[in-house]
Amino acid sequence: MASLDQVPREAIDWGPTIEEAACRDGCRTCLDFCQNGVYAWVDGKTCVVQRTACIVGCSHCASLCKSGAIAFPSLEDLRKAHPRT
- Cα distances from 65 to residues 8, 25, 37, 59, in angstroms, run 29, 12, 17, 11
Q: Which one of residues 1, 7, 47, 58 is an interface residue with ligand SF4 (CB under 6 A)?
A: 58
29 binds ligand SF4, rule: CB under 6 A: yes
Give the containing element (helix H, strand E) for 79. helix 75-81
Among the listed residues 11, 28, 42, 50, the single contact to ligand SF4 using CB under 6 A: 28
DSSP state of 80: H
Nearer to ligand SF4, 30 or 78 (CB): 30
18 or 82: CB nearest ligand SF4: 18
Residue 12, interface with ligand SF4 (CB under 6 A)?
no
- Among 11, 50, 67, 75, indicate the residue that binds ligand SF4 (CB under 6 A): 67
Residue 78 touches ligand SF4, criterion: CB under 6 A: no
